[in-house]
Amino acid sequence: MTKRDNSPPAVPRVIGHRGAAGHAPENTLASFAAAAALGVRWVEFDVRLTGDGALVVFHDETLERTTDGNGRVAETTLAAIRRLDAGFWFGKAFAGERVPAFEDALATLERLDLGAVIELKADPPEREPETGRAVARALRNSWPATLPAPLISSFRAAALRAVGDGAPEFPRALLVIKLESDWQRQAEALGCVAMHCRENELTPELARQVLDRGYGLRCFTVNARKRAETLFKWGVEGVISDYPDRLLAK
């Protein structure tokens, strides 16, 4: 297969995972602020649909792990989710932190001058196209003009396809645990410009293959400086970290 003609977007080497998840409750505005205070220029975070079709910044399918609520996000209204405490589980200092609506997250990114890798989550799988379409609409309507275009990522093919159909101007990355032999076929079919994989599943040979074929390459979740340095030596262009300060330290 031939090398890609279009280049992947420029993204910093160190990206904060769910904001700065080692320092503040993940996927909250406090976590974005913590990342910015650490000197991070881009953050990664998750987006999924509520039961009434709103977009919220949230990782899990269910509410229990990171809020004082319970049940499935996909079966809960935005109003009910916004009443939940999404910070106390992490520490008393964050009590009262809320689950952000996607629009709140975009406004905060603009205020903090943060770029973003936006991961699409979908539950149940039948909502993948709906999720992609909703994110495409929101980005076209509300993405801050002062920020570089975000990179949209997902494990979910139908969500990536839908966001690409609705907003093709925003670059996309295919998320995988491990790079399988048909990774390029999958990426090409979805119009992706980059591959994002789990750091402990990557080899130098696979890294070189991805880069030689013109794709961007990033790894998650990398919290040790020594490991990050190894990945960078292999040519990995960026790592997503709960503790980005460890990797940014001089």
What is the four-CA torsion angle of 8, 11, 12, 17, rounded to 10 degrees? -120
**Choosing from 17, 18, 98, 172, which is the catalytic residue?**
17
Main-chain phi, psi angles of 218, to 5 degrees:
-135, 160
Residue 47 bridge partners (DSSP): 57, 120
Q: How many other C-beta atoms lie within 10 A of the C-beta of residue 60?
A: 17
Give the tokens for residue 61.
């399918």
Active site residue 17: yes
Active site residue 23: no
Closest CA to 69 of 52, 86, 51, 48: 86
CB 1 within 8 Å of CB 227: no
Using CB atoms within 10 Å of the CB of residue 12, give its burial: 0 to 12 exposed, 13 to 18 middle, 19+ buried. middle
What stretch of H or E contains 112?
Answer: helix 102-112
**Choosing from 4, 12, 13, 59, which is the catalytic residue?**
59
How crowded is the C-beta side of 114, counted as CA atoms within 13 Å? 32
CB 33 within 8 Å of CB 112: yes
Cα-based distances in Å from 14 to 1, 155, 233: 30, 21, 14
CB 58 within 8 Å of CB 73: yes
* Residues annotated catalytic, as ranges: 17, 59
